[in-house]
Structure 1
C-alpha cells in the first residue's frame, strides 16, 4: 500500500520510518524547498523545550 506523509519536520519522518518498517511504501512530501535555518518549534525528547507558566 502506498502512503503519503505530509511534512518533513519531526513527526513526518518518524511516521514514515515506522510505516516502512511495517511494509508500507511511503512518500514524504514537504512544502519548504530546503531545511529551515531559523524558526519552527523546539523539540526536546527528554524535558519541555519551552517552559509554560
Structure 2
C-alpha cells in the first residue's frame, strides 16, 4: 500500500507547511465582529416602546 496520495492531498493547501495564513484565521472572526457591531448599532438606535422605556 502507498500513502503518497494522502500526503500529497494534505500538502496542497497552499503553504509549504500545509498551514493556513494569518489572514485566513482572522477573516471569519473579523467578519462576525462586523456583523455583531452592525446589529448592535441597529438595535441601539431603535426607539423603545413605552413598556420598555425607563420610568
Give the structure-1-normalised TM-score: 0.28
Higher helix share: 2
Larger proportion of strand:
1
Q: Which has the higher contact order (CA 8 A, sep 6+)?
A: 1
